[in-house]
Amino acid sequence: MNITGQHILSSSQFDLPLLDHLYRLADTLVPVARGQMTTAVLRGAVLGSIFFEPSTRTRLSFDTAFMRLGGSVSHTTGVEFSSIVKGESLEDTARVVGGYTDVLVVRHFEEEAIYSFASSTNIPVINGGNGAGEHPTQALLDLYTVRSEFKRLNKHVDGCRVAMVGDLRYGRTIHSLVRLLSLYRNLTFVMLSPKGLEIPRDFIDAARERGHELIETNDLNQGLAGCDLIYATRIQIERMSESEKAANKGVNFRIEKSILASVCRDDAIIMHPLPRDSRPGANDLSNDIDGDPRLAIFRQADAGIPVRMALFCMVLGVEDQVKDSLQPATWWRPEYIGPNDASFYRMR
């Protein structure tokens, strides 16, 4: 369970005991994430935040997590990463930035880039999303959210029924989360995707091998019925070819109020990796379900901070110093964050 000094490149590096350990630490750090407590376990440490692809949420979440631990963040963002324009290899970039900092978070649009980075520095490299590959910290915060919500609802991950909705072929968050959920027992995965965007065969095989049931369908009503967890993602219909569009004619993957009312369990939870496309006609989670207590998307986003804090503490080997380092924060905090959060976010 000791991952000090390790690169975090894939969700497959995690087993259940390690996840338990990480999530206990994340629980301890929730008051820090919420600005009620402070810690300085990483005062003096520097995070190198290297984004070759724009990102708001993920970058801000990593930054804030590191700052809340007392550390500082040095950034490079955007495609106009100047050294790269000048022909620098990823290996050179990684070695140089590795010599400046204590830990790196790297997002790159090419799947292989993260491995070039990780091979060039002994500083821990955390994968912040590698093209169509993985987004392991998203999966970690997703599972943390599932566990927290299920705990509140007196449910267990073992034996639960999960709907995965959307582009299951290229959706890296889906892939990473399915892998983590598969560590539990006797799940039923309902895979809801348009034709052409089905989950890759090896995920199906791997899940079945571990004893899970896996159902593929493109009937939203039937698929969502009875599910404990609904994980929605956006489908970019506009990127489909004409023949793909024709194959999916009349198919709808937009989860909205009416379907929630008619087929979904009262104690279901609905998650989404965000951003959610709220433009008219977008094939994404509808805004008309905002305020429904089943919608856990913002609690999920919030979870990114304590989970990423816990991960930083573990790869940098300061996890044992966390508890004694906590101090009450002295500034004002609201009782809860969003207009619909009253019952979930009461400050402890």
| Residue span 106-145 as binding mask against its own copies, x where in contact by CB under 8 A, dash where not | -------------xxxxx----------------------
The interface region with its own copies, picked from 12-20, 85-93, 108-116, 172-180 by CB under 8 A, is 85-93
Q: Is 92 in the site for its own copies (CB under 8 A)?
A: yes
Q: Is 18 in the site for its own copies (CB under 8 A)?
A: no
Contact in structure between 135 and 172 (CB atoms under 8 Å): yes
Would you name the residues annotated as active-site residues? 57-58, 86, 107, 135
CB of 52 to its own copies, least distance (A): 11
Q: Is 19 in the site for its own copies (CB under 8 A)?
A: no
Identify the residue among 13, 54, 211, 222 touching its own copies (CB under 8 A): 54
**Distance of alpha carbon 285 from alpha carbon 276, whole angstroms:** 7
CB of 249 to its own copies, least distance (A): 23
Sign of CA dihedral 115, 116, 117, 121: positive
Q: Is 289 in the site for its own copies (CB under 8 A)?
A: no
Q: Is 346 in the site for its own copies (CB under 8 A)?
A: no
Query: CB pairs under 8 A, 24+ apart, for 245-251?
Result: 247/194, 247/195, 247/196, 248/194, 248/195, 248/196, 248/218, 251/194, 251/195, 251/218
How many degrees, rounded to 5, is the angle at CA 72 between CA 70 and CA 78?
A: 140
Looking at residues 180 to 209 of the shown chain, list those that interact with its own copies (rule: CB under 8 A). none
CB of 317 to its own copies, least distance (A): 4
Beta-ladder partners of 192:
165, 217
Q: In this complex, which beta carbon is closest to its own copies, that of residue 78 or of residue 211?
A: 78
Q: Is 151 in the site for its own copies (CB under 8 A)?
A: no
The two three-digit tokens of residue 330, written as one number: 């002295």
Sign of CA dihedral 39, 310, 163, 111: positive
CB of 133 to its own copies, least distance (A): 18
Q: Is 339 in the site for its own copies (CB under 8 A)?
A: yes
Identify the residue among 1, 16, 60, 246 touching its own copies (CB under 8 A): 60
| Residue span 295-324 as binding mask against its own copies, x where in contact by CB under 8 A, dash where not | ---x--xx-xx---------xxxx--x---
Identify the residue among 88, 111, 213, 288 touching its own copies (CB under 8 A): 88
